[in-house]
Amino acid sequence: MAASDRPAGRVVSVFGGSRATEDSPEYRDAYELGRLLAQRGYAVCNGGYDGTMAAVSRGAKDGGGRTIGVTVEALSWRSPNRWIDEEISTATLFARLEQLATRGDAYVALRGGVGTLLEIVLIWNLLELQTFPYKPIILLGPGWRAALRALPRYSAVRASDLALLTFAATPADAVAHLERYFAGETEPPAARQARAKGKTASGAPRG
């Protein structure tokens, strides 16, 4: 990709578990995701520590990209991974979540634990409440669809809420979706839902 065609200053916040080892599928996916994002000109932002956070940073650096790690004083006994270019130290976990949310122009979540779920649900809820403009959130890997598709049956989560999420099988699929979205080839969910109801995204009837 030519430099003039690259996304100017766009940042992708990546969520994932800290316990992934180098021989795990999620570590390999995170590395490949970081590499592909960097090659297409995106900066990578993550929680700054180990596991998939290290993997995506490592991949981004190998792809020639820039990395941002958002660390927290409550975890001062942990060291940032060595592939971080810019460390943003926050006082609390809440502040860390805010940085990850506000710095991202898009989000990709890999397999992770409770912290990863918290990050996903925070962004998902902000999108559902429309508290900031729509930003793509992509769940990478086969487990997410299976884990979340039962929610409308057993909770008050609606199918329209699930429509705010994009599922991707591979890192290449995730990055391709981002490329289509930022090229204007993929509509935000609100626009798709409005069109399905016979209206434009602004609420005016379709002509």
pLDDT at 186: 85
In a domain? residue 7: yes
Residues 6 or more apart whose Cβ sits within 8 Å of residue 110: 14, 15, 16, 17, 20, 26, 29, 30, 33, 52, 56, 116, 140, 141
Would you say residue 80 lies in a domain?
yes
Residue 191 forms part of a structural domain: yes
Contact (CB, 8 A) for 51 and 18: yes
Does residue 201 sit within a domain? Answer: no
pTM confidence score = 0.88
The two three-digit tokens of residue 69, written as one number: 């790690």
Q: Give me 171's structure tokens.
A: 């890192």
Question: In this structure, is residue 206 part of a structural domain?
Answer: no
pLDDT digits (tens, 9 = 90+) for 161-204: 999 999 999 999 999 999 999 999 988 776 666 556 554 444 44
Q: Let me know if residue 74 belongs to a domain.
A: yes
For residue 199, list its beta bridge partners.
205
pLDDT tens digits, one per residue of 67-108: 999 999 988 888 999 999 999 999 999 999 999 999 999 999
**Number of domains observed in the structure of the chain:** 1
Give me the residue label for tokens 């057993």: 154
CATH number of residue 163's parent domain: 3.40.50.450
Q: Find, among 183, 63, 43, the residue nearest to 108 by Cα.
A: 43
Q: What pLDDT sits at residue 6?
A: 43
**Residue that the structure tokens 């990395």 belong to:** 67
Range of the domain at 10: 3-196
Domain presence at residue 66: yes
